[in-house]
Amino acid sequence: MNKQRPTLADVARVAGVSRATASRAINGEYGTSEESRDRVRAVAARLGFEPNAVARALATGRGSAGRRERIEILIVDDDPDAMSAKPFYGRVLTGAMRAVGDRDIAVEVRQVARPPALDDNVPFGRLLVNVAGEAGAAYARQGRTIALGRSAPGVTYVAPDNEGGGFQAAAHLVNTGRKRIGAVFGPQTPCAQERKAGFLRVTTGAARAVVSVDGDFTRATAYAAAKELLAREPLLDAVFAACDVTAMGVLRALREAGRRVPEDVAVVGFDGSTLAEAADLSSVYMPVEEEAASAVRHLLDPALPRPGRLPTSLTVRSSS
């Protein structure tokens, strides 16, 4: 009687990995570590396993029905204009595409007002943006997941040094002699709160008069917030905006109030986006593209070292 041909399940069992991992190790160039690929391929050779056409299809990133593997970028933002109004998201997509390169993997962007319920349509990997708490943890339990910024305990994340960036912005304003400092901070997200904490470390310690308003990273809210700051502190001589989009609203309010920038009021933003360059705005630069690329590389190969904090740097321009 002829011995039954070994199956992919046999290879996976002997190698001590899942069937999906065994398939990717034998046929693919992403999704497994070099150590796993070597071990699985050695077991396959020892057992005499030969991949079939379905397995080879998986190597190209396509399932048995011809569907491509995909990485989902899940963005939670209730601003309907977020994708066009906030350069941050375009930079995230740019970094993700760089990491995917010429692999035949789809990158899918999904913007929602609140985290959607889990379903059976699980992507190869999921990149979370503005997803915190139990929602982030639930996605992580379902499959490969990484977040931009802190999400939930146990969820791997990559983030810029937000607190350090806030510290740099405040130190610049204090060191250039500004004494009546205002701030339009961000929403109750980890990244925004880190920027706020870093900023207040300097301004509180320097005993400067700080007036602040919490915003939501939109231009309209920032405009209203800046008007409120001016009403509360008419001699305001500096404003920190927690993102560059926020800074655009602040600049509009200052212009309408007849306050000159930087002669009367210095303004510093946060992101280092093309908005900052176009407006000649001093801004804390964060390497968003590298942040997203690092996250996607980790999705493709979880054996890579866990990504951590990326450095930020203040670029001083004519606004301060």
Which tens digits make up the pLDDT trace of 102-113?
888 899 999 999
Full DSSP string of 22-84: HHHHHH-SSSS-HHHHHHHHHHHHHHT----HHHHHHHTTB-TTSPBPEEEEEEE---TTHHH
For the chain, the domains span: 8-59, 70-159+289-309, 162-287
Homologous superfamily, domain 162-287: Response regulator (3.40.50.2300)
Residues 6 or more apart whose Cβ sits within 8 Å of residue 215: 184, 185, 186, 187, 221, 222, 225, 242, 246
Which tens digits make up the pLDDT trace of 219-254?
999 999 999 999 999 999 999 999 999 999 999 999
pLDDT reported for residue 59: 47
List beta partners, residue 295: none
Amino acid sitting at position 75: I
Which tens digits make up the pLDDT trace of 25-77?
776 545 667 788 888 888 888 888 876 544 444 444 454 444 578 999 999 99
Q: Thinking of the domain 70-159+289-309, which architecture would CATH place it in?
A: 3-Layer(aba) Sandwich (3.40)
The domain 8-59 is placed in CATH, from the list 1.10.645.10, 1.10.150.50, 1.10.260.40, 3.60.20.10, at 1.10.260.40
List beta partners, residue 44: none
Retrieve residue 210's tokens.
């700080």
E-strand stretches of the chain: 70-76, 106-112, 125-129, 145-148, 157-160, 180-185, 209-214, 238-241, 266-271, 282-285, 309-310, 313-315
pLDDT reported for residue 67: 57
Q: Matching CATH topology for 70-159+289-309 and 162-287?
A: yes
